[in-house]
Amino acid sequence: MNSFRKPTGFRKSETHRPQQTPCVGIFWFVMQAGRPELLTCQTPWRDAEDYGDFKTEAMAHYDFWPGLRERLKLVGEYEDWPRGRVVYHVRDAVFTAYIDRQLSGDGFRAAILEAFHLPPEPTRFAFDAHYSGAKFKVSGRPVRASAS
């Protein structure tokens, strides 16, 4: 799997392939053609940046968003769409997806698991104030588009 670190790179959700390495990274759900679409910047967890006891994507939402917004002709700023981050806790051997509360539905969680190639166990979902308060709302069943 490629690591997308340049502001112009992104990955839309793709079909789960069990042999693929689980990834960490940042993501957004944005409305495209009337449906929520998952956009990610991700790195295989073993290649990710060390951050204390965690492995995390080095790219920040605010650094990645301008190129993504320009390429996809999106509106708003990086914090305007529901977003989150997937990290790996090395000591506990567990993935955690920090998400906006409006992403609590099963469809959104399944799309995140699929896109980041995460095992349902041991993956946790947690709400984090840092990822709350999105200005725009997303609704409907998430689009599972092929990689771009």
d(CA 37, CA 82): 11
Query: For the chain, how many residues are written?
Result: 148
> Which pLDDT belongs to residue 92?
95
> Which pLDDT belongs to residue 74?
94
Q: Are 98 and 85 in contact (CB under 8 A)?
A: yes
Per the DSSP assignment, residues forming a β-bridge with 32 are 35
Q: Give the model confidence (pLDDT) of 11-45 as tens digits.
A: 554 444 446 899 999 999 999 989 999 999 999 99
> Which pLDDT belongs to residue 113?
96
> Which pLDDT belongs to residue 9?
40
**Global pTM value:** 0.84
> Which pLDDT belongs to residue 90?
96
| Backbone angles phi and psi of 64, in degrees to 5 | -80, -35
Name the nearest CA neighbour of 58 among 39, 81, 41, 40. 41
Name the band, by pLDDT with cuts 50, 70 and 90, for residue 77.
very high
> Which pLDDT belongs to residue 19?
61
Cβ-Cβ contacts under 8 Å for 85 (sequence gap 6 or more): 24, 25, 26, 27, 56, 57, 61, 97, 98, 131
